[in-house]
Chain A
Amino acid sequence: MSLLGLLSLGSNALTAQSAGIAVTGRNTANVATEGYSREAVDFQAELAAPLVGGVRSGGLYRTSDPLLGKNERDASGAASYKGSLSTALHDLETTLTPSGNTIPDQLANLFGGLSQLAGEPLDPYLRRSLVTDGEQVARSFRDAAAAISSAQDDSDHRIRSMVSDASALTTQIANANKRLAVNPDPVLADQRDLAARKLAELVGGEARIDSDGKMRFVAAGGVVLVDGDRAASLRAVPDATMGNHVRVEAVDGNHVDQLTNSLTGGKLAAELEFRDKETVAVGQSIDQLAFDFATSWNTIHRGNAALDGTTGRDFFTLTATATGAAASLQVNAAIVADPSLIAAATPGTGPSNGQGAHDLLALRDSLSAAGGTASVLTQGITILAGVGSSARSADTDLEIEKQRLEVLANARDSVSGVSTEEEMAKLAAFQHAHEATLNFISTVNSLMSDLIDKL
């Protein structure tokens, strides 16, 4: 081994230790960077043949566990789904249950007013009061229908925003795939993984690294969103058959995949579930309740007599079928204008007869809602409690998913996280190695100088 060879050994060692110091610095600088995976230098000892050796610094490598990454994306998708659903359901229950002013509260007030009218059918104040109570019942149904419609519109806005974000993320992943093929920078890989996790939060699904090192992302439901350098773009298209709410599509060239009914994970799936299923179910229930209540009330009212003895008049006006009944419910304008038209008497008796009001009071306990299985009051309470129950269930599921995510995040951090203490220890080691190498080079240099002097 020549002295020049030894100098070369020292030079390589300095380069390797400098690389180590640089990586330590990079790790420390990115200790709080989201998605950053701890990096390390691949030191390789040189073969000794003979009395020659040293160290060579290979490339950088990321300390990451693909399986952990996959599990974390799964958990993110599930937690995001439950989180979005929980938030949307809580917002809906808040608007549907204003304190003391819910549909059951207003129905109870109406029946309370009716009790009074049954005892004093001629009293104009009680008649006017009953009209007001009826208007408040109608308004509570209309408000509930409006709250549901508003919740659907808000969800639609959120869906549009999420579709835009998801589309940007698929492009980002595809671009990262392209760049990584040329420049395998660990930071690019981190950014790709982070984009994949964010995309999983939006659409659920799985990402895997193919043998060519490129990421393939498949949304929950099976639609390929990223395949190597190709990214499908997501778009939100207003659909007249859905009340101009958007349907979600993935477009790849001429190929279009419908995602609206196929997504099963992530925030988008939660919002679609909320907009197209949860709110629709609640809306239909409230419509049916409004229809059942008003129809039953009108049937009785038509059969009884107003103060002038006339019959056949509806108390409420509403749609012909249950669809849209809540949004359209009103007190008959003729009765609003003239409360003496409230039919509180049995036909053929007289204006002081209150039996018609008693007939209406019987609705309070009769099983005229939910297909003949519940009273209108009970059904109203059941519908609203059901929204709360769904929200509570989503909360419980969210807590479970959050705990799962916490465990996976801890595991990921255990593998990929940067510990400043570890980096400081490594820095000290590299520093000492650097000093030792400098001493080695100095010694070799001194030997060479001696040799040259002697020569």
Chain B
Amino acid sequence: MRVTEHRLMEQAAAGVTSARDKAAKAAMQTQSGISVSRPSDNPSAWAEGVRASARHSMSEGRGASALRAHEDLVATDDAFSVIGDALSSLKALSVQMATGTISANERAGAVSVVAGLKATSLAFANVRSNSGEYLLAGNLGDKPAFDANGVYVGDTGQRSVEVGESGVSTSTLTGTALTAASGVDVFALFDTVQTALSTNNAGALQGSIVTITQAIEQVAKARTDTGNKMLVFETAEDARAQFEVRLAEVHNREVEADPIKAAAAFTDAQSNLQQAQRMAQQLVEMLRPR
């Protein structure tokens, strides 16, 4: 076929332009580390990348939620710990005050100690989260769980938090753990002991020791429940971290450029560009009129 010089030069120029475009694209991929930056680069890979990114974002949300739930459970456990210690102190005091050698005045003097133990326990029973919610009030967390007399005014509602893409776990306990619904009315127990002390009733004091022991076990069980819930979130957090690593791997695989391949492709593109430029120069030299 007849090929004119003009056509040869046009094709050589087009070759240089094409090689330059490819070199620029390879350079951009090498620098940015992204091989699929828009859907048309590879629609299915882009879609998988966006899907992985979306799942990662939602997982981070769940992680933040689970972290806060764990913090609230730690606060709840601290509260139960203090209440448990108060009950232990109450028991020790009751045992001491129940002995026959204690005078009425001594028993009367212990009333304020019990009142202090009750007040401390009540303050911790109305523990609040960092955002101000009363943690043991059930669904009524905008108000204290227990009134000034130690009567539970919350409800039995419990909240759940996501622990995975398709799982939830209960994240709260209610103040019913400290009421007769769970065995012993803890705050009424403080009142009982106070009354026994103020009326110098050693028999009632002796009788309350068993109930106090039950209350201590009841609070210990609440702590166990709290601990179990915390463990669920701790385990879920580990799983979440691994899940997010896998999602990041998926995203990288679909969207990001393999640095070695990208560098090799860039080197090839550069080499092709230089070759195209050399050929164009040789063509110019060859076709130059003598």
Contact = CB atoms under 8 A, between A and B. Distances in A.
The answer to whether A binds B is: yes
Interface of A: 31-32, 89-90, 93-94, 97, 99-100, 102, 104-105, 107-109, 111-116, 118-126, 307, 345, 349-355, 358, 361, 364-365, 377-378, 381-382, 384-389, 391-392, 395, 409-411, 413-415, 417-421, 424
Contact of A116 (B64, B129, B138): B64
Given A118-B160, A417-B4, 7 more contacts: A105-B54, A108-B54, A115-B162, A124-B131, A361-B162, A410-B3, A419-B2
B125 to A, nearest CB: 16
25 contacts: A90-B38, A93-B40, A112-B59, A113-B61, A115-B64, A119-B69, A119-B159, A120-B65, A122-B131, A122-B133, A123-B129, A350-B140, A350-B142, A350-B157, A354-B159, A358-B168, A385-B46, A387-B39, A388-B46, A409-B7, A415-B2, A417-B7, A418-B4, A419-B2, A424-B289
B37 interface: yes
A377 B55 CA distance: 10
Residue among B7, B61, B142, B166 with the most chain A CB within 10 A?
A: B61
B57 interface: yes
Interface in B249-267: none
Contacts of A111: 58, 61
A351 B141 contact: yes
A355 B132 CA distance: 19
Nearest to B142: A351
A120 B161 CA distance: 9
Given A99-B37, A350-B155, A419 B5 contact: yes
A124 B65 CA distance: 14
A351 B140 contact: yes
B68 interface: yes
A286 to B, nearest CB: 14
Given A345-B139, A352-B139, A381 B131 contact: no
Contact of B157 (A32, A123, A352): A352
B6 A112 contact: no
Contacts of B141: 122, 350-352
A410 B65 CA distance: 67
Interface string B1-32: 11111110000000000000000000000000
B268 interface: no
Contact of B6 (A109, A387, A417): A417
A349 B54 contact: no
Nearest to B137: A352
Contacts of B166: 365
Contact of B171 (A107, A119, A361, A388): A119
Nearest to A102: B50
B140 A381 contact: no
B2 to A, nearest CB: 4
B51 interface: yes
A337 B41 CA distance: 42
Contacts of B137: 352
Nearest to A124: B131
Interface of B: 1-7, 37-41, 43-44, 46-47, 50-51, 53-55, 57-62, 64-66, 68-69, 129, 131-133, 137-142, 155, 157, 159-162, 166, 168, 171-172, 289
A120 B68 contact: yes
Contacts of B129: 120, 123
Closest 9 CB pairs of A and B: A388-B39, A112-B61, A350-B139, A352-B141, A108-B54, A123-B131, A417-B4, A119-B65, A391-B40
A328 B5 CA distance: 60
Contact of B38 (A97, A358, A415): A97
Given A94-B38, A350-B157, A385-B39, A112 B57 contact: yes
A352 B159 contact: yes
A121 B168 CA distance: 16
Contacts of A119: 65-66, 68-69, 159, 161-162, 171
Contacts of B7: 409-410, 413, 417
A414 B131 contact: no
A115 B43 contact: no
Contacts of B171: 119
Given A105-B50, A385-B39, A115 B5 contact: no
A352 B138 contact: yes
Contact of A414 (B2, B40, B168): B2
Residue among A113, A354, A378 with the most chain B CB within 10 A?
A: A354
A60 B171 CA distance: 95
Contacts of B2: 413-415, 417, 419
Contacts of B65: 115-116, 118-120
Contacts of A392: 39-41, 43
A108 B47 contact: no
A126 to B, nearest CB: 8
Contacts of A361: 162
